[in-house]
Amino acid sequence: MAYETEALIPVDVGLESYRIEVYNVESNNFGLRANVDLLEEEREVAHQRNMKYLLQAAQHYDSGIKKRSFGVGDLVLRELTAFMPAKQGKLQPNWEGPYKVIEVVHPGTYKLETLAAKAMKNTWHASRLQKFYQ
């Protein structure tokens, strides 16, 4: 086709490839049986590699997280977008407060009250709170 000649593949020419020349049925069957025997080991290696990757991904993600903890009696600011996302405007403040921590429900979860000693009905996560400095 190119330069007015027809393209030929090696089979048409009569040349055999190296794989065809050295092919042996018995050694091929032996190799296939060995691969089947090693299949479980290969699966275990792949599973361990996957678990290592997941652990590294989790460590990379967790490296950017700032741990915050507050004690009873600490003063904190509450994020406004946590409970009023629709009323948050461009020029509105991002934090509201201060509030006083009255109870640690779980690590990272707190009950708050206003400075006038009025308890808030919801619990608040540490990611939505910020330490208040006077």
- Does any domain span residue 34? yes
Residue-range definition of the domain harbouring residue 58: 10-62
82 and 54, same domain (yes or no): no
Q: Which two structure tokens, joined as six digits, stand for 24?
A: 């042996």
Q: Are residues 84 and 52 in the same domain?
A: no
pLDDT (0 to 100) of residue 7: 66
Residues 89 and 55 in one domain: no
3-class secondary structure, 54: helix
Tens of pLDDT, residues 66-119: 788 899 999 999 988 766 666 666 788 888 889 999 999 998 899 999 999 999
Top-confidence residue, 134 or 19: 134
Among residues 128, 123, 10, the alpha carbon closest in space to that of 68 is found at 128
Q: For position 109, which CATH number holds?
A: 2.30.30.140
Q: Is residue 13's pLDDT more than 60?
A: no
Structural domains counted in the chain: 2
In sequence order, the 6+-apart residues with CB closer than 8 A to the CB of 17 are: 10
Residues 84 and 109 in one domain: yes
